[in-house]
Structure 1
Amino acid sequence: MSTRKTVLQLQRQLDEAKRRAAYVAPQREEGAATQRRPKSAIKYGCTSAPSTDFTIQGSKAGIIFFGGEAALGLADAGSDPTAPKGFHPNRIYAMISDASPQVVRAKASNRAYTRYARGTRGSNTQSTFSAPISDITTPTMASVRAKFGTVANSKKDEVGGSYGRIWFEPERLPLVESGN
């Protein structure tokens, strides 16, 4: 059985809910700059299906941050087909942190939370990066793991503080059969 909530806990939850309900997001100013996250078409060697290359989209900022197409085992897009629906490439991620986390309050609920990312809220400083990672010459998981280790070692000083990190998510290729 769970414990009963005190009157104070219930009152705090009610106050947060009222603040969330009353919050109205600020209107974007006419002609204000938007945050652009441009993508570029790149050639990706699929590790799940042998001898298969796809043309996929990758974040320009992420590819530049991780050292360019050559360091990530990618190439310029050619006449390769696009990836099938539901396909997720091998991806490398990085979160850049400040030396010490900041305690900030959520705008809607006024609830306190810890912010580990670099920059301050609303400063338009990019603190997370992601990019596809592969190996065009020999797309195997062993070669991708080796590339990840090389890229992670070269960038580990740039993630900042003990809260910055670099991680990897493996490829997911959907397997589909028709009913006929």
Structure 2
Amino acid sequence: MNIYFELIAFSLIIGIGATVIMDIYAIVLKRLFNIPSLDYALLGRWIGHFKNGIFFHKTIIQAEKIRYERTIGWIAHYSIGISFACLLLLIWGTGWAYHPTLLPALAIGILTTVAPFFLMQPAFGFGIAAAKTPHPAIARFRSLKTHTIYGIGLYLAALLLSRVMA
């Protein structure tokens, strides 16, 4: 199989699978414990303001709404999940997808916490690592847990893919 085709196909399958697992985790938290997850409309709103050269907000919640922001946010959410899966495959090689192991997937999952801590949360007006939120430690712990679940999802999606390819 062509290495570039493999990279793209495996990134799509593993990234979507891992993101679905992360979303299932968010649904379980919401239904069982009433713990909300990120409203992806806010992600879409943030991205929607890029066209105006606005990348940082005092608070994204009060920023002007963008048409189709929820759709944009969900597409971005899955695109980011696919991109991080691609990163895993670029570092460990597409051969990892044939014989996945947990440690690389967990490493990528945990390392992706850098994105919300140092990019999204500051850009949303929440401060570095949610420092400006009412309960920063709780927000940080939730981000870390969610991204760890994403890492587990990377492993599980790759494991399922490897079984299908066997």
TM-score, normalising length from structure 2? 0.25
Which structure's CA Rg is the greater one? 1
Q: More relative contact order in 1 or in 2 (CA 8 Å, sep 6+)?
A: 2
TM-score, normalising length from structure 1? 0.24
